[in-house]
């Protein structure tokens, strides 16, 4: 039996034929529209605008969103979303998820908390790939510390006046709206609200963050708000209750990142196995050296453990019993697995892995952003400890 991206995936008894049909459809799209351009888009540090409507046409952008706004929700579950994260990771193009699918974290607060009029204006064009939305939480001063948001929004009649800055905002340069965490009350999480801010509002400025270690093709920005007037009707959820609006969103983001990181690790495994079978040193294949076989076995061991954890959390999400602490630790498990497999695959490939234009080199430089984004490993461990009563 070969050890590749598909055969290294543990059997999941929860997957039904319709899930595999979705995988086949999505893989066909990715192989046609993304795979041939990975090197080009990575080096160009951008994804072409035409990809959004193409992704919308196969149902990728609308997956899990209400039919009333152009989405596909009936019969869609966490397993469909996991397949998306897996298949996009197979490309090794870090940053494509955080740009093409950034509405996955920017749009749910609108779907769940906006007025009907706002939903009608915002959701359909995003799901058609005509408009974009980003989530603006992280700030220059506080990173992932949501409870200490410094960007302010003061009420002025039928508007809020917003001042402050957000940074490391995925999809920030191309966004038409920002789902933005602002401070409307006192200190701490109870003073946070969420506003939907049109990107073309007077006083909004943005600066690209293009020089990054990884996520080269990702559109990342710093956003500045200077006396920006936002209609009070753009408030998502009750005033000063934005912390609750955002918290549910984080579980979705962390789950998707964990699934993607496990898939990145599987790509590294596949590349290492293929190279070890072809490359000869000291008169025999790399695969015939015991130390190399042990590396492959350790990679598969960690991948198995992470997949089993993903299956457990996915099943709990379906059952409505998942704990945020478990998802937090799953993200840590996945980032450690990705880091280990990227390092070991790089060791197996040697100098060939260090050259640009191969999947292991690309994934190796994506390790840190995955370990930090969506909540760093340290924050995830602390969150879990608090969730479990320590």
Q: Using an 8 Å Cβ cutoff, are 196 and 162 in contact?
A: no
CATH number at residue 142: 2.40.110.10
Which of 196, 212, 240 is the endpoint of a domain?
A: 240
Task: Say what the pLDDT of residue 117 is.
Answer: 96
Are 256 and 188 found together in one domain?
A: no
Q: Does residue 285 lie in a domain region?
A: yes
Q: Does residue 10 lie in a domain region?
A: no
Q: Does residue 149 lie in a domain region?
A: yes
Which of 83, 107, 127 is the endpoint of a domain?
A: 127
Task: Say what the pLDDT of residue 141 is.
Answer: 80
pLDDT for 253-304, tens place per residue? 999 999 999 999 999 999 999 999 988 888 889 889 999 999 999 999 999 9
**What total of structural domains would you count in the chain?**
3
pLDDT for 199-236, tens place per residue? 999 999 999 998 889 889 899 999 999 999 999 999 99
Residue closest to 140 by CA, chosen among 168, 162, 161: 168
Phi then psi for 225, rounded to 5 degrees? -120, 120
Are 261 and 379 found together in one domain?
A: yes
Q: Does residue 155 lie in a domain region?
A: yes
Are 218 and 276 found together in one domain?
A: no
Q: Using an 8 Å Cβ cutoff, are 129 and 56 in contact?
A: yes
Q: Does residue 8 lie in a domain region?
A: no
Q: What's the gap between Cα 163 and its chain centre?
A: 27
Are 329 and 259 found together in one domain?
A: yes
CATH number at residue 101: 1.10.540.10
CATH number at residue 254: 1.20.140.10
Alpha carbon distance 181, 193 (integer Å) = 6
Q: Give me the DSSP letters along 38-101.
A: HHHHHHHTS--TTHHHHHHHTTSTTBTS-GGGT-B-TT--HHHHHHHHHHHHTTT-TTHHHHHT
pLDDT for 78-102, tens place per residue? 999 999 999 999 999 988 998 999 9
Are 377 and 275 found together in one domain?
A: yes
Domain that holds residue 207: 133-240
Are 301 and 360 found together in one domain?
A: yes
Using CA atoms of 104, 202, 235, 144 in order, give the dihedral in degrees to the nearest 10.
50
Mean pLDDT of the chain, nearest integer: 94
Are 375 and 354 found together in one domain?
A: yes
* Per-residue pLDDT band at 247 (split at 50, 70, 90): confident
Which of 66, 100, 127 is the endpoint of a domain?
A: 127
Q: Is the pLDDT at 112 greater than 90, yes or no?
A: yes
Token couple for 191: 């003073």
Task: Say what the pLDDT of residue 1 is.
Answer: 54
Task: Say what the pLDDT of residue 144 is.
Answer: 62
Q: Is the pLDDT at 143 greater than 80, yes or no?
A: no
Alpha carbon distance 25, 29 (integer Å) = 6
Q: Does residue 148 lie in a domain region?
A: yes
Are 272 and 365 found together in one domain?
A: yes
Characterize 268-302 residue by residue with b for buried, 16 or more Cβ atoms within 10 angstroms of its Cβ, and e for exposed. Answer: bbbbbbbbbeeeeeeeeebbeeeebeebbeebbeb
Q: Does residue 265 lie in a domain region?
A: yes
Q: Using an 8 Å Cβ cutoff, are 184 and 193 in contact?
A: yes
Q: Is the pLDDT at 119 greater than 90, yes or no?
A: yes
pLDDT for 345-390, tens place per residue? 999 999 999 999 899 999 999 999 999 988 899 999 999 999 998 8
Task: Say what the pLDDT of residue 176 is.
Answer: 98
pLDDT for 356-366, tens place per residue? 989 999 999 99
Are 264 and 217 found together in one domain?
A: no
Are 257 and 330 found together in one domain?
A: yes
Q: Does residue 146 lie in a domain region?
A: yes
Q: Which residues share a beta bridge with 231?
A: 159
In a 3-state reduction of DSSP, which class is residue 205?
A: strand
Contacts for 49-58: CB closer than 8 Å, 24+ residues apart: 49/174, 51/100, 52/100, 52/129, 52/130, 52/132, 53/128, 53/129, 53/130, 54/29, 54/129, 55/29, 55/100, 55/129, 56/127, 56/128, 56/129, 57/129, 58/25, 58/26, 58/29
Q: Is the pLDDT at 105 greater than 70, yes or no?
A: yes
Mean pLDDT of 190-194: 94
Are 355 and 253 found together in one domain?
A: yes
Alpha carbon distance 313, 267 (integer Å) = 22
Q: Is the pLDDT at 151 greater than 70, yes or no?
A: yes
pLDDT for 30-55, tens place per residue? 999 999 999 999 999 999 999 999 99
Task: Say what the pLDDT of residue 84 is.
Answer: 98
Residue closest to 62 by CA, chosen among 104, 98, 96, 109: 104
Are 168 and 271 found together in one domain?
A: no
Characterize 230-243 residue by residue with b for buried, 16 or more Cβ atoms within 10 angstroms of its Cβ, and e for exposed. Answer: beeebbbbebebbb
């Amino acid at each position: 039996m070969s050890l590749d991206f598909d055969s290294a995936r543990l059997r999941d008894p929860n997957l039904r034929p319709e899930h595999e049909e979705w995988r086949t459809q999505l893989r066909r799209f990715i192989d046609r529209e993304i795979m041939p351009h990975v090197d080009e888009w990575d080096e160009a540090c951008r994804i072409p605008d035409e990809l959004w409507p193409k992704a919308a046409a196969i149902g990728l952008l609308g997956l899990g969103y209400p039919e009333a706004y152009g989405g596909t929700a009936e019969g869609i579950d966490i397993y469909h979303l996991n397949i998306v994260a897996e298949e996009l990771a197979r490309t090794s193009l870090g940053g494509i998820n955080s740009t093409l699918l950034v509405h996955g974290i920017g749009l749910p607060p609108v779907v769940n908390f906006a007025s009907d009029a706002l939903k009608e204006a915002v959701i359909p064009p995003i799901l058609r790939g005509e408009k974009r939305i980003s989530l603006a939480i992280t700030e220059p001063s506080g990173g992932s510390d949501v409870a200490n948001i410094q960007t302010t929004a003061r009420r002025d009649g039928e508007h809020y006046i917003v001042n402050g800055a957000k940074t490391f905002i995925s999809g920030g340069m191309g966004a038409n709206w920002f789902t933005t965490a602002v401070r409307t009350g006192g200190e701490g999480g109870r003073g946070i609200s969420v506003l939907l801010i049109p990107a073309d509002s007077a006083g909004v400025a943005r600066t690209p963050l293009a020089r990054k270690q990884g996520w080269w093709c990702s559109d990342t920005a710093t956003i500045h708000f200077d006396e920006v007037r936002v209609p009070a009707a753009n408030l998502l959820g009750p005033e000063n209750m934005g912390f609750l609006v955002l918290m549910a969103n984080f579980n979705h983001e962390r789950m998707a990142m964990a699934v993607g990181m496990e898939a990145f690790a599987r790509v590294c495994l596949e590349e290492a196995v293929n190279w070890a079978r072809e490359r000869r040193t000291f008169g025999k294949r790399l695969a015939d050296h015991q130390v190399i076989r042990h590396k492959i076995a350790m990679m598969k061991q960690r991948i198995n453990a992470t997949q089993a954890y993903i299956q457990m959390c996915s099943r709990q999400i379906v059952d409505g019993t998942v704990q945020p602490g478990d998802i937090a630790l799953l993200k840590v498990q996945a980032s450690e697995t990705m880091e280990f497999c990227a390092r070991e695959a790089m060791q197996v490939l040697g100098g060939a892995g260090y050259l640009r234009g191969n999947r292991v080199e690309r994934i190796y430089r994506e390790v840190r952003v995955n370990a930090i984004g969506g909540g760093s490993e340290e924050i995830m461990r602390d969150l879990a400890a608090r969730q479990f009563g320590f």
